[in-house]
Amino acid sequence: MLISKANGLGGEGLKSWYLRARYQTYDARGKPASKGVFEMYWGTRNQTRVSYTSDSFHQTDYRTLTGTYSTGNTGPVPYPELLIQGEFMRPVDLWEKAPAPKFREIKRDKVALSCLEVRIPEAPLASSYCVDAPRLLLRAMESDYYSAVYNQPAIFQHRFVAKQINLSDESQQVLDLDVDELRGLKPGDLPALTPPADAIKTGTSPIAGTEIDPRGGEPDRLANSAVMAGHIVIKVPPRYPQEAKQRRAQGSVRISATIGKDGLVHNAVVVHNPDEALSKAALDAVKQWRYTPYLLNGEPVDVRTYIRVTFTIGG
């Protein structure tokens, strides 16, 4: 769709580029967590470098013609850092099989915006994208998992790229991004695309992950939540804590997790915490869920995804 092609640094037709952005993360309660720097070198689809550097996490991932490599922390990229690459690469995530979108008009800061809602057929999930027409400039996004506001738009290689992005979840801050530098690659940048001798090889396929949601990268493939909902084969319902009912506590718990090649839930972490008791009950239940493995090129792979568990009084 034209909106997807007009916004972000993903897709075909772009020359090599470099991006540097500062970020501020927030914890499950919406409190400031850590500050860091995100850098990405894009040579070709099979020649990239992505790095995260903060006081709590430092990892650099390389994709080359001989495979994928990593240095720094060996664990998975934490939430919400995992969202950063997709917000710059493919902020408009439209599915080819999705039905025709619904349109509505809104006004934000006295600017008329055209919004289109796309509903994923595999699950009752939807995303809404609001653009400044007729330029197709993306200004806001809302999904069932988080929302984003895109400010300070710039034009780079005929694409719109927001230099300031705010992500939130039910009015709770998740991530702030501020672009410091966006330019084409220079000859002096090319050595940075080569993994150092002590890098750990994490994959053999130079195109691993490209068939999964473009918001993910190597080695942390991020699968669309709607797709993974269709892979659930055992879904243990959460127990609504009695003391939470008495307090009339309710809301949606968001969980980031890895679905392994074995179909089990690994590395489950609460990323949106409406209530401590509800979050614990949701986490206890989700850890018992079972999935059919996600297949990439016919082979089971580990994928990261987001899970929402909703508690409603009387629901």
Nearest-angstrom CA–CA distance, 306 and 42: 27
pLDDT, tens digit, 9 for 90 and up, residues 69-113 = 999 997 778 888 888 998 999 888 655 555 566 667 666 666 678
Q: Structural domain tally of the chain?
A: 2
| 306 in the same domain as 159 | no
Could you tell me if residue 127 is inside a domain?
no
| 253 in the same domain as 194 | no
Domain of residue 254, residue span: 225-311
| Domain limit, last residue, from 169, 203, 237 | 203
Contact 152, 139 (CB under 8 A): no
| 188 in the same domain as 78 | yes
Could you tell me if residue 288 is inside a domain?
yes
Could you tell me if residue 242 is inside a domain?
yes
Contact 278, 311 (CB under 8 A): yes
Could you tell me if residue 106 is inside a domain?
no
- Confidence label for 208 from pLDDT (cuts 50, 70 and 90): very low
Nearest-angstrom CA–CA distance, 252 and 310: 4
- Range of lowest pLDDT (38-52, 67-81, 213-227, 235-249): 213-227
Could you tell me if residue 126 is inside a domain?
no
Q: What is the CATH number of the domain that holds 180?
A: 2.50.20
Could you tell me if residue 214 is inside a domain?
no
Which has more pLDDT, 253 or 212?
253
**Residue 101 confidence (pLDDT):** 60
Q: For residue 87, is it left (φ>0), alpha (ψ between -120 and 50) or beta?
A: alpha
Q: Which residues pair with residue 54 across a beta bridge?
A: 36
| 230 in the same domain as 192 | no
Q: What is the CATH number of the domain that holds 284?
A: 3.30.2420.10
| 306 in the same domain as 251 | yes
Q: Mean pLDDT, to the nearest integer, of 11-34?
A: 91
Q: Mean pLDDT, to the nearest integer, of 256-274?
A: 90
Residue 58 identity (one-letter amino acid): H
| 191 in the same domain as 235 | no
Q: Is the pLDDT of residue 52 over 60?
A: yes
Could you tell me if residue 264 is inside a domain?
yes
Residue 149 identity (one-letter amino acid): V
**Residue 217 confidence (pLDDT):** 40
| 80 in the same domain as 13 | yes
Could you tell me if residue 113 is inside a domain?
no
Distance of CA 114 to the CA centre of its chain: 24
Instruction: Give the position of tokens 């074995």.
Output: 262
Query: For 245, phi and psi rounded to 5 degrees?
Result: -60, -45
Q: Is the pLDDT of residue 188 over 90?
A: yes
| 280 in the same domain as 191 | no
| 287 in the same domain as 194 | no
Q: Mean pLDDT, to the nearest integer, of 132-145?
A: 84
